[in-house]
């Protein structure tokens, strides 16, 4: 069993390396164009369009861009929560108050300047936007491996909360299969610049 677990962890590491290498080839123009299409695709997803509170994140580098989506949600009157990375890699949350209220943080991240609401604030979300590197047809998501969102998902599960879990990706990051370990949670939908796909949970 340990051998199987280590094999899946190794397979994840290989897949992460391949996907990050592909992202490294994207230009700023590629990222900007994809971000506009991603926002449009996401806003057509019913479980996101109907949400009153959305836990999201600020994209950095060559991640699929979220800033247009954050502003569109806020413009609709949605309460948008953004993560604040804690020293132990868990996530606190604060309300998004606009791009001008984002502050540089460690690891190249941008975090909201407002009052911290505590890690349990995510339990109020109707939808949670998850960063990722890939997802497959069963809704299994491949994260970066830091574990922050594994804690968020575990917190939601422990509380019996069932927000829509939505991963944002580039079109070619929807893959045949993501190696899954016991702690991995499937998502409810994947959104790419080309469109959105729900998994019916």
The tally of CA atoms less than 13 A away on the side-chain side of residue 37 is: 15
pLDDT tens digits, 49-61: 899 999 999 999 9
Give CA–CA dist 79/82, Å, rounded. Answer: 10
Please tell me the predicted confidence (pLDDT) of residue 143. Answer: 87
Tell me: pLDDT of 2 over 60. no
Residue in 31, 156, 168 with CA at minimum distance from that of residue 93? 156
Report yes or no: 168 and 132 within 8 Å, Cβ to Cβ.
Answer: yes
The pair of structure tokens assigned to 50 is 């109907």
Please tell me the predicted confidence (pLDDT) of residue 4. Answer: 60
Please tell me the predicted confidence (pLDDT) of residue 1. Answer: 43
pLDDT tens digits, 137-151: 889 999 887 889 989
Kind of pairing between the strands at 79-85 and 53-55: parallel
Q: What is the pTM of this model?
A: 0.92
Tell me: pLDDT of 94 over 50. yes
Please tell me the predicted confidence (pLDDT) of residue 130. Answer: 95
Phi/psi zone of residue 165: left (φ > 0), alpha (ψ -120 to 50 degrees), beta?
Answer: beta
Per the model's pLDDT, the better-predicted residue between 68 and 181 turns out to be 68
User: Residue 187 belongs to what domain range?
Assistant: 2-198
DSSP, collapsed to helix, strand or coil, labels residue 93 as strand
Tell me: pLDDT of 107 over 80. no
The pair of structure tokens assigned to 75 is 């413009």
Please tell me the predicted confidence (pLDDT) of residue 193. Answer: 95
Proportion of the chain in helix, strand, coil states, percent, rounded to 5: 40, 25, 35
Give CA–CA dist 82/148, Å, rounded. Answer: 13
pLDDT tens digits, 11-43: 888 999 999 999 999 999 999 999 999 999 999
Specify the CATH number for the domain of residue 123.
3.40.50.10420
User: What percent of the chain stands above pLDDT 90?
Assistant: 76
Tell me: pLDDT of 131 over 80. yes
Phi/psi zone of residue 98: left (φ > 0), alpha (ψ -120 to 50 degrees), beta?
Answer: left
DSSP 98: -
Domain count, the chain: 1
Please tell me the predicted confidence (pLDDT) of residue 5. Answer: 60
The pair of structure tokens assigned to 183 is 């702690």
């Amino acid at each position: 069993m340990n051998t199987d677990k280590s094999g899946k962890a190794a397979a994840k590491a290989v897949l992460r390396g391949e996907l990050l290498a592909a992202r490294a080839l994207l230009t700023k123009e590629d990222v900007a164009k994809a971000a506009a299409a991603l926002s449009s695709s996401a806003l057509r997803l019913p479980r996101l369009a109907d949400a009153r509170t959305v836990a999201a994140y600020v994209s950095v580098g060559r991640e699929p861009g979220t800033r247009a989506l954050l502003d569109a949600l806020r413009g609709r009157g949605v309460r948008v929560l953004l993560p604040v990375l804690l020293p132990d890699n868990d996530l606190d949350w604060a309300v998004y108050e606009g791009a001008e209220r984002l502050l540089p943080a460690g690891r190249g991240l941008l975090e909201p300047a407002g009052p911290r609401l505590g890690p349990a604030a995510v339990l109020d979300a109707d939808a949670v936007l998850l960063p990722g590197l890939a997802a497959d047809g069963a809704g299994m998501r491949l994260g970066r491996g830091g574990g922050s969102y594994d804690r968020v998902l575990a917190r939601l599960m422990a509380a019996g909360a069932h927000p829509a879990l939505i991963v944002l990706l580039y079109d070619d990051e929807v893959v045949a299969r993501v190696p899954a370990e016991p702690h991995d949670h499937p998502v409810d939908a994947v959104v790419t610049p080309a469109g959105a796909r729900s998994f019916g949970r």
